[in-house]
Structure 1
Amino acid sequence: MKLLTFDLTQKQYDEFFAPIRSKVEIILLLMKIIKYMLIEPPVEAPKNSFYMILKVSKMSRIFLISPKKHFSISFPFTVINPDDKVYFKSKNLDSISSKMTSDVIGFFNKNNSLSSSSIYDFVEPIDELTLEEPGTWQFIKELMLFEEGYIRYDHDEKHEDGDNHPLHHLDVFYSSSPTFKIGLKTGYKKLELLDLLDLENTCKYLS
């Protein structure tokens, strides 16, 4: 079991806690998280009120924690943690480099290829990236197919509306069609979402 904790700067907090509405935004978030973890060493305990935990055991998940919002997504890569360094590999890449994360971020940011009606608007930019790094297409395919497992705890005073929008609730899924809320009688403390989702713990009951 690996449990790695990372303090977040204000810049990372602003980026990582931005609202998520699409699979592309999940992919971009994941790439930014990996880029950050490749640079910043894990810490013994968080010093800030917002931080990030990577837990790998029977489950593999990233948890982002702040005073009023905690959320988690699946982490689909292998974690290698010799000494104080952290490295990652995927099914098709022996090492996920910072350059690879930049290439993926650039691909999804600069090319509106997923909304294009032409397949060539999607294929041509990938062909260009693959000439430089042969594993790029396989990596992008992994990202597009992985199951996100998104869940968020909110303490939402602004939109509170009785049982229609409880002050404390879980949001399951991120896009408008499948998402739903589970009301909570009390708020979650810092690691309660991690405990809820940890497959090594006993199950929690809704009723």
Structure 2
Amino acid sequence: MLKSKLIMVLTILGILAGCATTPQARVNFDRNNDVSTTHYKTFAWLKETKVLAEPVDVNPVMKVKIDQAIEQAFIAKGYQLVSDAEAADFAISYTMGSRDKVKVDSLPVMYRSNFAWGHHYYGGLSIGHDTRVRNYTEGKLAIDVYDVKSHQPVWHGWAVKRIKSSEQDNPSKAIKSVVEQVVAQF
């Protein structure tokens, strides 16, 4: 009876693990409550390069896509882009990057054992471990908003996302989605 319950639980866990999808972007923000943003109508880029600090291995085509996605996201929220940063209500900039990561999972695996006094012995079954190693790339995008008049940082929003290989081949949709999720927090 207990053996069949254990098998059923492990089967359900296996099914759930198989149904799991790649996690969506983790999005969050921090706000400077000392600066009011209620009067904001216009924005500009803080720097001509738009990105605050460009990574060494930046893809220039992807950078242009991120620039455009950020502009469009703020325009969609009702803000007007102006070319003169000193005439704007707020200025924006961003940072981006990626890093390769490794994930190691160790899952219990049951197997029949003739040895009756092992450490993991239970009713003729022994439990071993199946170790899986996965390599993946995690991308991060952070958008910063500065008050033009006070020169104070107002808002910092960021997203961290596991980048699928299909997104590496055609990043436009993922960039737009992540930027919209971050800017929606502003």
TM-score, L = length of structure 2: 0.26
Higher relative CO (Cα under 8 Å, sequence separation at least 6) belongs to 2
Max Rg structure? 2
